[in-house]
Amino acid sequence: MSLEFNKLVSQVQTMGRFLGHRDQSLSTRLDLALQLFYAATDLDAVHQRIELVRRSSVSGYRGAAALDEVICQTFDRPPMPPSGTLVAADGSQIYPDQHSPALYYLINLGWFTCYYGETRLPDQATEPTLYYSDNEILDADGRLINNITVNARRSVAEMQALAKQAWFLRGEARPLVCLHDGGLLKFFGANEVTDANKIEADYMEALQRLQDAQALLAGYLDKPRSTYIISLLHLLSLDPSQINDLNLKTNGELEGLADIYLMSRVLRPGQRSAIMTQNSPQNREYASRNPDYEIAFFYLNVSDDVRPAIARVDIPLWVARNKRAVDDLHAILMAQCAIQGRRHYPYALTRADELAYVSSSEKQQLNELINIEMLKNRVESEASDKLQTKGLARGSRRQHRIGSR
Amino acid sequence: MEDSVSIVGRVLRASTTGFDCGTRSNRIDDRHNFGAFVRVPISDDGSAYAIGLIYAIRIDDDPLARELVMATNIDQATLMDQRDNRMVPVEICALNVGYIYNGMMFHSLPPRPPLSLSEVVLCHAGEVYDFTQRCDYFRLVLQASEVPSDELIAAALRYASYAYPENERYQFLVRCGRTLANLLANDLKRLSHVLTLIRPDG
């Protein structure tokens, strides 16, 4: 049965009205946020307010914490470094499927390296890895691992690939920018992720190796939904006596706003925001392992015209503390985002994604290869009835043609 | 195995009337000219080849290429990446005009098509010279549908003329012109156009 659009049309119209109304209501809140933002010129006062929520019994603050830049400050696009190297890594996966002929999952990594300051062909590579042994696909209770675990393992594998490349490229021109698709602050919850502790340890080890290679690590998030600065503005708007978990549970009058709305009004093309960190137990945990691992962020308007395109860039503190490194990263990201015309997204990440992507037809081919090998080894291979009947019902129809078979 | 210098591409799909071959976009050069004579093996023992004329060269786009076109300027590294790294094949289409069997040349459709991934190579000058001694393949070109047949026959004749010694070139083109005049006697506008295209001093 196909989707019955006639039953959806009125729902889509209602949704349009809802979004329109929400935008109007956000506009008023955004004006308030802008007032609070531009009023936050006293860095000491901001620091004091952050210390208050860190030292008191308040535990619910998940907003931004200022570092050494005034939060309403903006920074123009710096000049490009004369030379440099950029490597971007991305990954994709085939999730384990208990209805497939064999239990396995696949992680395919792709990385793309380009060189600045010289006319040189960029390098590219992929590394697919098949996981099929019991200790790889089953959890401690013998159940098939879930997709969240595969995602976590893929994230770590991406970071390990960046670390490996950073070491491999250590002799190339500096700065050496390592670009990751997504945020750097990862949460590997033990309740959801099998072997969460090991995954976290591997992630931290990859960070260590990246730092050892003196790489400028950055996580790139397009159209971020984070509310770190909005939460900070809400905190600043409260009287010290009002600061408690209940009041910090929401962003009060600013609730519903995301940083991207604010930054769209604040940042001109090419500008970045101040660098801040996120105040969260997770980030504290990173910092407790090594103060250099605490994750900071800034927003960047990667557009080159009047329509803003806001991205969030996560960087570890070893990068954030180095102003020259931040400038180089800022300039290189702007250059990357200018390559694809109307699409303001780093070209290197687009290419890494292209390299890593596993299409459904490739998945099908891999399953056929596995089937053949199973037959060769006299292992009975048969997809579950559920999968096979789904395939029958979803299959495309054929036209009748005279003379065709 | 053919000399890699003369390899035009490898067969993607084929039928007895023609074949399409593919190559990487960075390898496009004067081996891929419209009207060039190419050959491809149709037997494992190298005794038979189909002979074709290149009638179309196609370069497909994709969404990324379309976005890059919209960019104000493309730096050299991106250009190299697109042309050398990305798998954007160039498709070259050839129309079968004859075949070689045990060293003999025939101006008719080959008995079978080439297999996928067979190497397509340029015919060398001697083969072009031998093949164009007769004009029986003209009809195959002029009657081919979905092919710019007038431009193709003209381009093929101009291409073939360079396989002839300079003192034979004029006579070759005149001889071909006479054959075309016979074949297109009932369509003078078309004949006039083709003759203009192959005029020796043109």
User: CA of A124: which chain B residue's CA is closest?
Assistant: B85
A155/A188 same-domain check: yes
Residue B1 is predicted with a pLDDT of 52
- Count CB pairs under 8 A between chains A and B: 45
In a domain, A19, yes or no: no
In a domain, A398, yes or no: no
**Three-state secondary structure readout of chain B:** CCCHHHEEEEEEEEECCEEEEEEEHHHCCHHHCCCCEEEEECCCCCCEEEEEEEEEEEECCCHHHHHHHHCCCCCHHHHHHHHHHCCCEEEEEEEEEEEEECCEEECCCCCCCCCCCCEEEECCHHHHHHHCCCCCCHHHHHCCCCCCHHHHHHHHHHHHHCCCCHHHHHHHHHHHHHHHHHHCCCCHHHHHHHHHHHCCCC
The answer to whether the CB of A303 falls within 8 A of the CB of A344 is: yes
Cβ distance of B64 and A122 shorter than 8 Å: no
Cβ distance of A339 and B72 shorter than 8 Å: no
pLDDT at B201 over 70: no
In a domain, A2, yes or no: no
A303/A374 same-domain check: no
Nearest by CB: A340 against B68, B77, B85: B68
Residue A155 is predicted with a pLDDT of 97
Mean pLDDT of B37-61: 93
Residue A56 is predicted with a pLDDT of 66
Give every residue of chain A whose pLDDT is below 70, as ranges: 1, 56, 381-392, 395, 397-399, 401-405
Cβ distance of A347 and B78 shorter than 8 Å: yes
In a domain, A24, yes or no: no
Pick from B62, B70, B75 the residue to mutate for testing the A interface (most A CBs within 10 Å).
B75
The total of structural domains in chain A comes to: 2
Name, in order, each residue with C-beta under 8 angstroms of B131's C-beta and a sequence gap of 6 or more.
Answer: B37, B51, B98, B105, B107, B123, B137, B160
Nearest by CB: A122 against B64, B71, B77: B77
Pick from A121, A172, A304, A349 the residue to mutate for testing the B interface (most B CBs within 10 Å).
A121
Among A354, A348, A328, residue whose Cα is nearest residue A162: A348
Residue A140 is predicted with a pLDDT of 87
In a domain, A45, yes or no: no
The answer to whether the CB of A222 falls within 8 A of the CB of A310 is: no
Q: Which chain A residues contact residue B74 at CB under 8 A?
A: 339
Strand partners, A125: A111
Percent of chain B with pLDDT over 70: 96
| E strand or H helix at A79 | none
Strand partners, A92: A108
The rounded distance, in Å, linking the Cα atoms of B110 and B101 is: 9
A234/A349 same-domain check: yes
Q: Which chain B residues contact residue A113 at CB under 8 A?
A: none
The rounded distance, in Å, linking the Cα atoms of A311 and A221 is: 6
User: CA of A347: which chain B residue's CA is closest?
Assistant: B78
Cis peptide, bond prior to residue A269, ω within 30 of zero: no
A373/A318 same-domain check: no
CB atoms within 10 A of CB A56: 12
Residue A378 is predicted with a pLDDT of 83
Q: Which residue do the tokens 């496009």 mark?
A: B28
Cβ distance of B71 and A351 shorter than 8 Å: no
A271/A382 same-domain check: no
Pick from B24, B62, B67 the residue to mutate for testing the A interface (most A CBs within 10 Å).
B67
A304/A319 same-domain check: yes
A27 CB-contact burial (10 Å; exposed 0-12 / middle 13-18 / buried 19+): exposed
Cβ distance of B85 and A340 shorter than 8 Å: no
Q: Which chain B residues contact residue A340 at CB under 8 A?
A: 64, 67-68, 71
Question: How far apart are the CA of A123 and the nearest CA of chain B, in angstroms?
Answer: 8
Each residue's pLDDT tens digit, B86-128: 867 789 999 999 999 999 999 999 999 999 999 999 999 999 9
Q: Which chain A residues contact residue B69 at CB under 8 A?
A: 341
A128/A276 same-domain check: yes
In a domain, A142, yes or no: yes
The answer to whether the CB of A120 falls within 8 A of the CB of A139 is: no
pLDDT at B4 over 90: no
CB atoms within 10 A of CB B155: 20
The rounded distance, in Å, linking the Cα atoms of A200 and A203 is: 5
In a domain, A15, yes or no: no
3-state secondary structure of A44: helix
Mean pLDDT of B59-79: 84
Q: Which domain holds residue A170?
A: 64-356
Question: How far apart are the CA of A350 and the nearest CA of chain B, in angstroms?
Answer: 9
The rounded distance, in Å, linking the Cα atoms of A20 and A26 is: 10
In a domain, A400, yes or no: no
A364/A352 same-domain check: no
pLDDT at B58 over 50: yes
A232/A371 same-domain check: no
Query: Final residue of a domain: which of A312, A336, A356?
Result: A356
A358-to-A93, A128, A136, A217, A395 alpha-carbon distances in Å: 7, 10, 20, 25, 21
Pick from A80, A339, A350 the residue to mutate for testing the B interface (most B CBs within 10 Å).
A339
A334/A378 same-domain check: no
**Three-state secondary structure readout of A254-303:** HCCCCHHHHHHHHCCCCCEECCEEECCHHHHHHHHHCHHHCEEEEEEECC
pLDDT at B2 over 60: no
Q: Which residue do the tokens 């035009």 mark?
A: B8
The answer to whether the CB of A331 falls within 8 A of the CB of A86 is: no
Each residue's pLDDT tens digit, B148-181: 999 999 999 999 999 999 999 999 999 999 999 9
Residue A405 is predicted with a pLDDT of 44
A121 CB-contact burial (10 Å; exposed 0-12 / middle 13-18 / buried 19+): middle
Residue A388 is predicted with a pLDDT of 64
Nearest by CB: B77 against A114, A341, A354: A114
A297/A372 same-domain check: no
Q: What is the mean pLDDT of chain B?
A: 91
A226-to-A63, A164, A232, A311, B52 alpha-carbon distances in Å: 9, 30, 12, 11, 61
| E strand or H helix at A225 | none
The answer to whether the CB of B98 falls within 8 A of the CB of B138 is: no
The answer to whether the CB of A115 falls within 8 A of the CB of A173 is: yes
Among B159, B140, B162, B137, residue whose Cα is nearest residue B35: B159
User: CA of A113: which chain B residue's CA is closest?
Assistant: B81
The rounded distance, in Å, linking the Cα atoms of A219 and A316 is: 9
Residue A1 is predicted with a pLDDT of 64
Each residue's pLDDT tens digit, A2-47: 788 888 999 999 999 888 887 777 888 999 999 999 999 999 999 9
Cβ distance of B85 and A122 shorter than 8 Å: yes
DSSP structure string for A125-162 = EEEEEEE-SHHHHB-TTSPBPPHHHHHHHHHHHHHHHH
A75/A203 same-domain check: yes
The rounded distance, in Å, linking the Cα atoms of B52 and A384 is: 49
Mean pLDDT of B183-201: 92
